[in-house]
Amino acid sequence: MLFRDEVELIGKLPLLSGVDPSRLRMLCFASDREAFSPGDVIFREGETNEGAYVILSGEVDVHKASDGSHIIKRGSEAGVAIVGQSSMIQDAPYAATVTARTEIEALRLNSRCFMKLMASCPKSSEKIMKALGAQLNANGVIAPGAASDYFDQIRKAH
């Protein structure tokens, strides 16, 4: 996949849809491209987080042992998925195990780089935090309002 295609695809994520394309290019450039085969574990529930994975193509299983939940996420030319995004705002282990169902092309977003992006662009940051907070609240990963509180801390620090 070409670099410009990666930038275009991550811009389709609700989490990053409000970010300037030049900043998306920087985020992609600082990210690692990874490939996984069917059955490969991308990360396990409870492991130290290494950043979020944008699934550019293929399908993954997301399984949470603690509550027995199981979903499938797909990335393709028509859409893109992200897993491990809670690592973007909290320094906590992964909340689920993610396994490749098919051949996977992924982009591992570096958490530190993502936070620098947030700090350098407050206008986009607020949109990102609201989108991420809503998604994490809906998934029961964080308590309602926690994303707003975290964003306030970032804004005050910079």
Q: Model-level pTM?
A: 0.76
The confidence score (pLDDT) of residue 51 equals 86
Q: What is the pLDDT of residues 61-108, one digit of tens each?
A: 988 887 777 676 766 545 678 888 876 666 788 888 999 999 999 999
Q: Calculate what percentage of the chain has a pLDDT beyond 70.
A: 68
The confidence score (pLDDT) of residue 37 equals 97
- Mean pLDDT of the 109-132 span: 74
- Pairwise pLDDT comparison (136 vs 154), residue with the higher score: 136
DSSP string, the chain: --HHHHHHHHTTSTTTTTS-HHHHHHHHHTSEEEEE-TT-EEE-TTSPP--EEEEEEEEEEEEETTTTEEEEEEE-SS--EEE-GGGGT-----SSEEEESS-EEEEEE-HHHHHHHHHH-HHHHHHHHHHHHHHHHHTTSS-TTHHHHHHHHHHHH-
In whole numbers, what is the pLDDT of the chain averaged over residues? 78
Residue 16: which pLDDT band, with cuts at 50, 70 and 90?
Answer: confident
Q: What is the pLDDT of residues 28-53, one digit of tens each?
A: 888 999 999 999 999 999 998 888 99
